[in-house]
Amino acid sequence: MESDRTGSATGSLAFEETGMVFPDGTEALQGISFTVDKGEFVTVVGPSGCGKSTLLRIASGLLEPTSGSVRADRDQLGYVFQDATLMDWRTVRGNVELLAELHGIGSKERERIAAEAIELVGLSGFEGHYPKALSGGMKMRCSLARSLTLKPPVFLFDEPFAAVDEITREHLNDETQRLFRTEEFAGLFITHSISEAVFLSTRVLVMSARPGRIVEEFDISFDYPRLPELRFDPSFAELCGQVSLRLRGSHA
């Protein structure tokens, strides 16, 4: 069964008994095992400080786990940070072109894929703006566009919308979901918002407080495309309630 899920050749991410103990002795993660396949959008929810971000850093290869292993297609990883992390000295276009630049893609091609990504996140017309002239939500869109340029098979999101307001956040959720549908990546999303998790994901994993372990797994079977109205559906609320209950249980 386990080998089945890790078997797919491209676009997948697999944790196997992954554990992380920091040099100061803090045990951040313990025995994490799960896979994300192409076409799956898996969200990890957990109390703050439970090691969610550590999990993502390990998935990306920025951090080596101290036990177990992680397998991921890291060549063209998509990584969306907590903040937009844009370069202030580059325009929207310049920021979006960055990754293609780092991978040595020619300027013509770079321009084309940047324009496409900017269009995809709805920032057309703002190509020449510098970050200081953008709102928080627009900065996040720009950040999304940047990570889309390389068509990453694996997409990691580290609480990307935590800093924007509720309305902007719902918009960005709608768009993330749309991008997931069109780009068909394997998504691993970290958040502490339960409704965000349920709305976006095919699967929600609940993590316990430190040391972080996966304590529950919820399959979310709503059909895509998911409309904004889904958030007011009783079955949506019920699922959120279940996740919330499990999350609270993990606090104790």
- Residues at the contact surface with other proteins, assessed by CB under 8 A: 60-62, 74, 77, 79, 81-83, 85, 87-90, 98-99, 101-103, 130-132
Nearer to other proteins, 81 or 222 (CB): 81
188 contacts 38 by C-beta, under 8 angstroms = no
C-alpha to C-alpha distance for 38 and 147, rounded to whole angstroms: 17
Q: Measured from the CB of residue 49, what is the shortest distance to other proteins in angstroms?
A: 18
Nearer to other proteins, 130 or 222 (CB): 130
211 contacts: CB under 8 Å, gap ≥ 6:
19, 27, 28, 29, 30, 51
Q: Measured from the CB of residue 123, what is the shortest distance to other proteins in angstroms?
A: 16
Nearer to other proteins, 30 or 53 (CB): 53
Q: Measured from the CB of residue 87, what is the shortest distance to other proteins in angstroms?
A: 7
Nearer to other proteins, 145 or 239 (CB): 145
C-alpha to C-alpha distance for 80 and 21, rounded to whole angstroms: 24
Provide φ and ψ at 121, rounded to 5°.
-95, 5
Q: Measured from the CB of residue 243, what is the shortest distance to other proteins in angstroms?
A: 28
Q: Where are the alpha helices (DSSP H) in the chain?
A: 2-6, 52-60, 92-102, 107-120, 136-148, 166-183, 194-200, 234-251
115 contacts 171 by C-beta, under 8 angstroms = no
CA max distance for the chain? 56
Nearer to other proteins, 90 or 231 (CB): 90
194 contacts: CB under 8 Å, gap ≥ 6:
45, 240, 243, 244, 247
C-alpha to C-alpha distance for 15 and 70, rounded to whole angstroms: 5
Q: Measured from the CB of residue 98, what is the shortest distance to other proteins in angstroms?
A: 7
Q: Measured from the CB of residue 88, what is the shortest distance to other proteins in angstroms?
A: 5
Nearer to other proteins, 22 or 224 (CB): 22
132 contacts 86 by C-beta, under 8 angstroms = no
Nearer to other proteins, 143 or 173 (CB): 143
Q: Measured from the CB of residue 171, what is the shortest distance to other proteins in angstroms?
A: 21
